[in-house]
Amino acid sequence: MEKVRDAYEALRGRVLALRDGTTGVWTGELSSSALGTALAVSALEADGDAGRALAGAGADWLVAHANADGGWGDSPASASNLSTTLIARAALRRIRRVRSEELGVRSREENAQDRELETRDISETVRRAEAWITARAGSLDSSAVARALGKIYGEDRTFAVPILAYLAMCGGEDAAWLRVPPLPFLLSLLPQGLYRFFRLQVVSYALPALIAVGLCRHVCAARARGGRAWGRRFAGPLLRRLAALQPEHGGFLDAIPLTAFVVLALRHAGYGDHAVAQRGLAFLRRAARRDGSWAIDSNLRTWVTSLAARAVWSGGVPAKLETGGWKLDAGGIDDAEKIAKWLVRTQLKAKHPFTGANPGGWAWTDLPGGVPDADDTAGALIALKRLKDIGSKTDISGTVRGGLRWLLGVQNSDGGMPTFCRGWGRLPFDRSCPDLSAHALAALAVWRDVSPHAAKAMERLTRYLAQAQETDGSWLPLWFGHQDGEDGKNPVVGTARVVDALRATLGARTEDGGQRTEDRATVENMLARGEQWLRGSQKADGGWSAGQAPTVEETALAVIALTDGGGACDEAVRLGCAWLAEHWESGAARPAPIGLYFALLWYHEQMYPLVWALEALGRNASRSGSQ
């Protein structure tokens, strides 16, 4: 433990140095995405000279970042998967066709030879991708691909139908549209409160895809049959509904894949000139990175700021900590005030047009495309409590009450927490899940005295978590996974988040001065079993992972959860801290693709290993001197 304090101070300085110079908060950096890049390339290649230039750079990025086996993963650190490889291959085939046509027109120009070499590179990359797909799907035929995707997504059409529709767009064969399942796009015209009664096969946050891709599939399938697309009669109301859902900057959910799907679908349905499509294209142009790639989303600024605030002050407030270029004491009270004020400002103050969510929640970003959700709302509430505890004087009373009301308002009938809105559907991303429920439980615990309804909600959350606990003592999260784990699940992250929340619950007071005996016994039993599972899953070198090699993210979250557990937990924490300190010192603390987004789409975030390792070390740095 001797290196823990040094690692903590060095890591704290690194995290503080990553703040935005203007706002004083953290933006982070999402990994580039082959899927996001491929879809943006396809959307922009018909968008004038500027769009074609961006599309060309994106195609070159895809060629350069294909995996050695010929496929693509969701991030450059991800193993190849079928969905991303299908989309990237289709995008490159379109670009190759465009470049081949340009060669025929511009063969006498000086850059013709370079253009021919680029086309050859794309052709070879496409060939290798087709071999990879054939080995997994059995054939490149659209029916074989549809069957293979069906095995991945099951009854969830959120991502499967847009992928099949996109492949039909790129293939140019009308018959392929007949193998694209329909989407009930006309239901989007009904009041949002009725959606849960129709058991839709798409999740709540995919409403723009339901409208645009559903309409596109309907129009193109009718054309393939030689009939009339009667749904065009509703195009006006549908496009107005889509426009009402679109934020002012054009990016649906601030997500590159979702926005690109909408743009492409509208174009192929004959509405490419509509303002919704044009705003979407403008968003995609602005989202392009200098290296030619796109991420899956603009940023997670609110989320990583909440996490960073908790981590930076996990060890209290230092008397003085200089960070290059900052006039204020870095990590001091002045910075805490700045962040608290920013979190107060970013709370959503009006009913959200996308999900119909009430005011009071937080989204993952402060950009217009963000949608309030339970995880980010809980994260902001806990961050505000941490800032208040270390001395922030910002008035947050109304903000906290609004956030608690929002959380209580989305709690499901089973006691658990969904992601975006209460009772919308039956698919995983709309159901209660242990990781969000645990985070909400922790937020309610730290603000227990503010809401008269918190105690009852905490009891219901506790009962849900008891039912959700696996027989081995672990919990499975929804929004974090592991690509090498069984079925992509990550019980390390899920169990760590629940154990940490349960420990916070035991410290919360109820109206009669303490929890009821039976409730406390339930929490203690769950906590003991969760701790035992975490200790048993620790690797021999002291790290944690749902796969083979430990990651900083998983190790840090496990250490956070086991800190203050006492007994056998102390030794596991000591070994975990040593692992974190060693990997920070050696420079091996790189982000791992454990984040899960938009129906089995993986990502990694620059800030995750930094902020979670900082909090883990911060919680233990004060103890290191006495051990």
- Average pLDDT for 147-164: 88
Model confidence at 570: pLDDT above 50: yes
CATH code of 159's domain? 1.50.10
**Residue-level pLDDT at 326:** 33
Helix (H) or strand (E) holding 269: helix 256-269
Give residue 580's pLDDT: 95
Whole-angstrom distance, CA of residue 59 vs CA of residue 38: 7
Picking from 295, 313, 336, the residue at the C-terminal end of a domain is 295
- Is residue 314 very low, low, confident or very high in pLDDT (cuts 50, 70, 90)? confident
Give CA–CA dist 376/436, Å, rounded: 9
For the chain, how many structural domains are there in total? 2
Length of the chain: 627
Where among 246, 267, 295 does a domain terminate? 295
d(CA 363, CA 433): 18
What the block records as the tokens of 377 is 């709302």
Higher pLDDT, 429 or 540: 540
| E-state strands within 16-124 | 32-33
Amino acid at 350: A
Is the distance from CB of 196 to CB of 422 less than 8 angstroms? no
Instruction: Give mean pLDDT, residues 532-544.
Output: 97
What digits encode the pLDDT tens for the residues 128-142? Answer: 999 999 999 999 998
User: What's residue 375's pLDDT?
Assistant: 97
- State the chain's maximal CA–CA distance in angstroms: 87
352 and 221 within one domain: no
Burial class, 160, CB count within 10 angstroms (exposed 0-12 / middle 13-18 / buried 19+): buried
435 lies in the same domain as 522: yes
H or E segment and range at residue 596: strand 595-597
Which residue type is seen at 248? Answer: E
**Exposed e or buried b for every residue in 366-389, given b needs 16+ CB within 10 A?**
bbebbbbbbbbbbbbbbbbbbbbe
Distance CA 458, CA 448 (A): 9
Do both 110 and 248 map to the same domain? Answer: yes
- Alpha-carbon dihedral 22, 26, 27, 32, rounded to 10 degrees: 140
Same domain flag for 287 and 419 = no
Q: Identify the CATH number of the domain in which residue 433 sits.
A: 1.50.10.20
Q: What tens digit of pLDDT does each residue of 226-252 get?
A: 999 999 999 999 999 999 999 999 999
The answer to whether 393 touches 337, Cβ cutoff 8 Å, is yes
pTM of the model: 0.92
Q: Are residues 240 and 162 part of one domain?
A: yes
C-alpha distances in Å from residue 280, one per residue of 42, 227, 249, 252, 618: 13, 30, 8, 8, 43
CB atoms within 10 A of CB 528: 14
Same domain flag for 288 and 305: no
- Residues 112 and 250 occupy one common structural domain: yes
Report residue 3 as tokens: 């290196």
Q: How far apart (Å, rounded) are the C-alpha atoms in residues 165 and 98? A: 21
- Cβ atoms of residues 160 and 148 within 8 Å: no
CA dist., res. 302 & res. 308, Å (int): 10
Mean pLDDT for 422-432 is 71
Pick from 627, 614, 617, 65: nearest CA to 309: 614
Burial of 623 (C-beta count, 10 Å sphere; 0-12/13-18/19+): middle
Same domain? 290 vs 327: no
Q: Confidence class of residue 540 from pLDDT cuts 50, 70 and 90?
A: very high
Of the two residues 424 and 167, the one the predictor is more confident about is 167
Q: What is the spatial distance between Cα 358 and Cα 349, in angstroms, rounded to a whole number? A: 8
Residue 578's domain spans which residues?
Answer: 4-29+299-624
Average pLDDT over residues 437-442: 98
Query: Averaged over 254-272, what is the pLDDT?
Result: 97
Pick the last residue of a domain from 240, 273, 295. Answer: 295
β-pairing verdict for 595-597 and 32-33: unpaired
Q: How far are the Cα atoms of 163, 267, 270 from residue 264, in angstroms, in the given order?
A: 11, 5, 10
pLDDT of residue 625: 44
Range picked from 174-188, 247-261, 425-439 for highest mean pLDDT: 247-261
Q: State the alpha helices, DSSP H only, in 390-433.
A: 397-410
How confident is the prediction for the chain on average, in pLDDT?
88
What lies within 8 Å, CB to CB, of 370 at 6+ separation is 253, 254, 302, 363, 364
Rounded to an integer, the average pLDDT of 171-195 is 84
Does residue 187 share a domain with residue 75? yes
**Residues 251 and 217 placed together within one structural domain of the fold:** yes
- 70 sits in the region (left: phi over 0; alpha: psi -120 to 50; else beta) called left
Q: Residue 603 phi/psi, 5° resolution?
A: -150, 165
Centre a 10 Å sphere on the Cβ of residue 77 and count the other Cβ atoms it contains. Answer: 15
Task: Identify the band that residue 609 occupies on the pLDDT scale cut at 50, 70 and 90.
Answer: very high
Q: Are residues 262 and 367 in the same domain?
A: no
Burial of 564 by CB count in 10 Å (0-12 exposed, 13-18 middle, 19+ buried)?
middle
Residues 287 and 322 grouped into a single domain: no
